[in-house]
Amino acid sequence: MTETTDAPTTGKRRATFNTLEVSELRRLTDDSVEVTFAVPEELADDYDYVPGQYVALRKELDGAEVRRSYSICAVPKRGEIRVAVKKDIGGRFSTWANESLEVGEKIDVMNPQGAFTSRTHVTSLNDAQKVAAEKVAEKKDTHLVAFAAGSGITPIMAIAKAVLAASETSRFDLVYANRSAMDVMFAEEIGDLKDKYPARFTVHHVLSREQRVSPLLSGRIDEDKLTTLLDRVIDVEGTDEWFLCGPFELVQLTRETLAARGVSEDDVRFELFTTGRPENPQGHSGRVVEVDPKGDNVTIEFNLDGLTAKVESPKSAHETVLNAALRVRSDVPFACAGGVCGTCRAKVVDGAYEMDENYALEKDEVEKGYVLTCQTRPTSDSITLDFDA
């Protein structure tokens, strides 16, 4: 099955699903697995990506559609996409992927999306070789630092490999938090990077449930430990870009600490597992909402793939644009529905609104009127949006 649309000429690529076959499974830890999808030649251009981007997976399990987003864990290689899936307690898809998924299984895979990339990657969205060339031309002694926890290492692996290979003087520091040594994903690959780039790649493993020689690397990363790391281990002033990937608490603590030290928010990229705030969970299809017969409704009009659709939403329901739009267009793009991934991004052309959470859009995008439709609720009688903008 393939859902095809015309890609826009802007820097953002239209989110589309294609059915891909699992070609390889590799166990990373007892509760995580690397999944490789084979990409046929006719779709290869659509699945080029920049290190740090993600794909959304869609699968029907037990009669219900499930969507999950996973970062790509390898440097670009034509004809394949690799993601790592860590089993979460109670996680329907992650448990199935770790316990039941087999080679040959077919899964709907969205083409790569996301902005968890170096600034120089943006202009070369689908050209990995050009990305590397631009990196070298711009600044040969680039120094990047990443803080990751658990499966947050997934996009970091792709970014680190690409940056270190881009020039002979680039440097990469990684602070990687896990419960124990047995929980370290990509342990072998991290070791290979240390062997290949001994003077340019440094990793600091912080284990919360194992005692290490250095107290600094034992226990959870709290405010005191983070302060010490930045004071004694990481060259804050000499760092060009920061990459943070993990749970909300760690990412937010690190962002706030870096901001207090004068690090520009433009130099910090972050990606979350979840917001850690599941007070308003959303389903994977528009929930049933009846239009107010008295006419006290909001008119939501949107453009998607060049076609205009309209839906009425009762003001009393206070529902999101995404939830309403899914009732009339099942192909409205989304993945996490939690304000994290940015797949449901659209531009408000007319009307007033409020956006609850935003962990995916850049500041300049918000200023231009872009919103996450899964977090946006109209506050005017009508609102018009453009998913193609």
DSSP string covering 5-54: -PPPSSSSPPP-EEEEEEEEEEEEETTEEEEEEE--GGGGGGG---TT-E
pLDDT of residue 122: 35
Q: DSSP letter at 197?
A: S
Give φ, ψ of 44 to 5 degrees: -55, -40
Domain with residue 329: its CATH number is: 3.10.20.30
HSE-CB at 210 with a 13 A cutoff on CA atoms is 14
Question: What digits encode the pLDDT tens for the residues 334-389?
Answer: 988 888 888 999 999 999 999 999 988 988 999 999 999 999 999 999 999 999 99
User: Does 190 lie in the same domain as 219?
Assistant: yes
Question: What digits encode the pLDDT tens for the residues 131-180?
Answer: 444 444 455 678 999 999 999 999 999 999 999 998 899 999 999 999 99
Q: In this structure, is residue 280 part of a structural domain?
A: no
Q: In this structure, is residue 287 part of a structural domain?
A: no
Low-confidence ranges of the chain (pLDDT < 70): 1-13, 119-140, 274-288, 292
For 183, the domain range is 128-272
Q: In this structure, is residue 93 part of a structural domain?
A: yes
User: Does 223 lie in the same domain as 319?
Assistant: no
Which one-letter amino acid corresponds to residue 93?
A: F
Asked whether 271 and 71 are in contact (CB, 8 A), the reply is: yes
Q: In this structure, is residue 340 part of a structural domain?
A: yes
pLDDT of residue 119: 64
User: Does 135 lie in the same domain as 104?
Assistant: no
Total structural domains in the chain? Answer: 3
Q: In this structure, is residue 164 part of a structural domain?
A: yes
Q: In this structure, is residue 352 part of a structural domain?
A: yes
Asked whether 47 and 77 are in contact (CB, 8 A), the reply is: no
Closest CA relative to residue 84, chosen from 15, 36, 19 = 36
User: Does 379 lie in the same domain as 309?
Assistant: yes
User: Does 249 lie in the same domain as 138?
Assistant: yes
pLDDT of residue 275: 52
Q: What span, in angstroms and rounded, lies between the C-alpha atoms of 31 and 371?
A: 35
Q: In this structure, is residue 7 part of a structural domain?
A: no
Domain with residue 29: its CATH number is: 2.40.30.10
Asked whether 156 and 71 are in contact (CB, 8 A), the reply is: no
pTM of the model: 0.82
Interior/surface letters 89-114, b for 16+ CB within 10 angstroms, e for the rest: eeeebbbbbbeebeeebebbbbbbbb
Asked whether 116 and 243 are in contact (CB, 8 A), the reply is: yes
